[in-house]
Structure 1
Amino acid sequence: MNYTLHQLQIFLKITQLKSITKASEELHLTQPAVSIQLKKFQDQFPIPLTEVTGRKLYITDFGKEIAKAAERIINEVYAINYKTMAFQGEITGLLKIAVVSTGKYVMPYFLAEFMKRNEGVELAMEVTNKARVVRSLELNEVDFALVSVLPKKLKINTVPLMPNSLFLVGSEKLEFAKNATRKKIFENLPLIYREQGSATRNAMERFITKNKLSIRKKIELMSNEAVKQAVVSGLGFSIMPLIGIKNELKNEDLHITPIKGLPIHTTWNLVWLKSKKLSPAAAAYLEFVKTNKKDLITKSFDWVKHYDKERMLVKK
């Protein structure tokens, strides 16, 4: 046997994704390069590791056993690297963060510099809806979570990061009368919702209920990106976080519709369980956020002020 650590990493990724194409994308390699390494790895075993039926890749039982062994070997190598860096005084370990889907427009900017400074830290970031994020926090599966609405039933510590503002947005492809009231806008135009469990959806529903608005047609989509593209296409309007539509506003693909009672203001918070024993990597990250958050906000999110302070004719 003469396989390499690189081949083990490629094979493990293929077994996880069950696709050479997806594995090549995630590993930032070309598809031919991944295929060649898989063949070289396979050539060292008399039993097939994978098989292709139609266009679908399957992992054989033997391949699954080899994948388990590969994962153990890779984890041991990581452990050696961590120990080496720890003895050199560097921060090492795995930092696990759960982020609500819209938070993907926020969290990377609070991570990039920290990860550059601490090469021994690895990051696992799950992006999902609020319900799943809170569940991950509750089960102690993550170090931190990023949320715009604090979970009420958990005992948590919080660090407020920055404001989160939600506006009614649409495209020029879907028009309404210039003198239309708030009531008429919501009655006559399709409104696009996020899925159940989304904090954005909850905020939208509270606004509609509080103002006793009637909805003509409701469309439900499963991600913020899907909602954004649907609004750009003219499929409907939606109440969306400003943080996720910067480029679309700049390019005039989307426009803010001034409405009384909007924007809705919440706050992005980094939260963690009070009972959580933070790892050295997590503790270092928390200190980094507390020390640098003002500079990070000024550097990456100063543009938000333009829209939050903008004075527009508000529809009654």
Structure 2
Amino acid sequence: MRKPLLRMTLRQLQVFEAVCETRSYSRAADVMALTQPAVSLQIRQLEELVGQPLFEYSGRKLYLTEAAEALQRAGQDIFGRLNSLDMQLSNLLGALHGQLRLGVETSAQYLAPHLFAIFKRQHPEVNVHLCVGNHAQMLKRLSENRDEIVLMSLVPPDRDLEFLPFLNNAIVAVAPPEHPLCQSKNLLLKDLESYPLLIRESGSSTRQACDDYFKQKRTHFTHVQEMTSLEALREGVIAGLGLALLPRLSIQRELGAGLLHELPVHELPLYRSWCAVHLRGRHLSPVAQAFFTFIREERALISALAERLSGQQSVQQA
């Protein structure tokens, strides 16, 4: 090993990670409770130790160099190992302790906090770092070891991933309550074709599941508008911009309040399984392993939680 690298400090790596995450020296200074000159000094010292520049500007945007990307991966590995050590030392004292690095696909973001809350009641010394993104973003974070476990659907078969299906994700068609289709008692997917449809962006598992299902059912929507979040789709439907297919769990409050109406489409709900996923062969930290075991052994509890959150009774009453 090059001797200068041995002089690198954990504090320098923390500051460096803050700059990588925020892509800004000033925002990193706020995160680390430092002055901007102090952050600049730490980065300059790191660059001297590495022997290469770590960041470069293009216009006003800050970009990572190849050296920075390599250092970021190494830093994440170092802090991950220290976190694992902390958990193992806590286990020796008889208590599970540490942080769960959990990635959550957008469609599962309404379930994940409730799921972790149950887990935390069993292990009160555990905290969570939860990152939400679309399907493609979660796969990228998993491959980069930024999250130990990801909750997602449509696990790709060509990746070296270990996965555990634990809950059905019901995707339903919704409309604003004044929409003419809300008067119908029995619909087919093809009855929806002539109306505008709001869809998620490419890279979303909900978008992929719906696209595949439309092809299977030979259904084609000609008037579509793309939106990059479930929240935008939900509000777009409420505003009357079009229909949408959304995970029922993500709209349970709106269904219960009468802001949205679930359409009685014969071919729906479309069911896809949410899965807990991690890299195959990767040694999970004690906290991540305990969370994976919790999901495997508490499926009845998780199903009861989802039923409570889904607002199915409110939908039926509406």
Distance (whole Å) between structure 1 residues aligned to residue 154 and residue 316 of structure 2: 25
Q: Is 2:270 the partner of 1:264?
A: yes
Distance in 2 between the 1:177 and 1:82 partners? 53
Structure 1 residue 293 displacement after superposition? 3.2
Shift of 1:84: 6.8
Give me the whole-angstrom Cα distance separating, in 2, the residues matched to 1:23 and 1:228.
36
Q: SS of the counterpart of 2:129?
A: strand
Alignment of 1:88-167 (within 5 A): 88-167=93-172
CA gap 1:170/1:62 in 2 versus in 1, 3 angstroms:
same
CA distance in 2, matches of 1:166, 1:79: 37
Equivalent-residue separation in structure 2 for 1:161 and 1:177 (angstroms)? 32
Q: Give the alignment's TM-score, normalised by structure 2.
A: 0.69
Which residue is equivalent to 2:205? 199
CA distance 1:285–1:65, change in 2 (3 Å): farther
The structural deviation recorded for 1:181 is 5.9
Alpha-carbon deviation of 1:265? 1.1
In 2, the alpha carbon distance for the partners of 1:190 and 1:155 equals: 38
Q: Which runs of 5+ in 2 are unaligned?
A: 1-13, 48-74
Match of 2:224 among 218, 224, 232: 218
1:118 CA displacement: 3.2
- More displaced stretch, 12-21 vs 180-189: 12-21
Take 2:207 and 2:130, find their aligned partners in 1: how far apart are those partners? 22
Change (3 A) 1:225 1:305: closer
| SS of equivalent to 2:109 | helix
For the Cα contact (< 8 Å) 2:248–2:310, is it kept in 1?
yes
Corresponding letter in the other structure for 1:152: P
What SS does the aligned partner of 2:275 have?
strand
Specify the code of the residue in structure 2 equivalent to 1:219: Q
Summarize the Cα distance change of 1:81–1:155 in structure 2 as closer, same or farther, 3 Å threshold.
closer
| 8 Å Cα contact 2:84/2:286 also seen in 1 | no
CA offsets per residue over residues 63-112 of structure 1, 9 Å max, x none?
Answer: 867999xxx9xx7x989976874553322333222211111012222211
| 1:293 counterpart = 2:285 | no
> Deviation of residue 147 (structure 1)?
1.4
Q: Any conservation in 2 of the 1:138–1:154 contact (CA below 8 Å)?
A: no
State whether structure 2 residue 253 is matched by structure 1 residue 244.
no
Distance 1:267 1:310, change over 3 A: farther
Q: Give the direction of change, closer, same or farther, for the CA distance of 1:199–1:49 in structure 2 (3 Å limit).
A: same
Tell me how far 1:189 sits from its aligned partner. 1.1
CA distance in 2, matches of 1:265, 1:139: 29
Separation in structure 2 between the aligned mates of residue 132 and residue 276 of structure 1, nearest angstrom: 20
Matched residues, number: 276
Listed as ranges, the matches of 1:1-16 within 5 Å are none
SS in 1 for 2:282: coil
Q: Which amino acid aligns with 1:93?
A: G
Q: In structure 1, how many angstroms separate the alpha carbons of the residues matched to 2:139 and 2:201? A: 16
Counterpart of 2:272 in 1: which secondary structure?
strand
> Which consecutive unaligned segments of at least 5 residues does structure 1 have?
1-8, 28-33, 43-47, 51-58
**1:13-66 residue CA offsets vs partner (Å, 9 max, x unmatched):** 799656999999xx9xxxxxx9xxx6xx76xxxxx649xxxxxxxx7x348679
Percent identical among aligned pairs is 22
CA distance in 1: counterparts of 2:104 and 2:166, whole angstroms: 13
Counterpart CA distance in 2 for 1:147 and 1:168 is: 21
Gap change, CA 1:225 and 1:309, over 3 Å in 2: closer
SS at match of 1:243: helix
CA deviations on 1:152-179 (whole Å, 9 max, x unpaired) are: 1124333222111111101024434856
Does the Cα contact within 8 Å between 2:262 and 2:315 map onto a contact in 1?
no
Question: RMSD across aligned C-alpha pairs, in angstroms?
Answer: 4.2
SS at match of 1:188: coil
Q: Which letter does structure 1 place at the counterpart of 2:219?
A: L
State the AA in 2 paired with 1:221: M
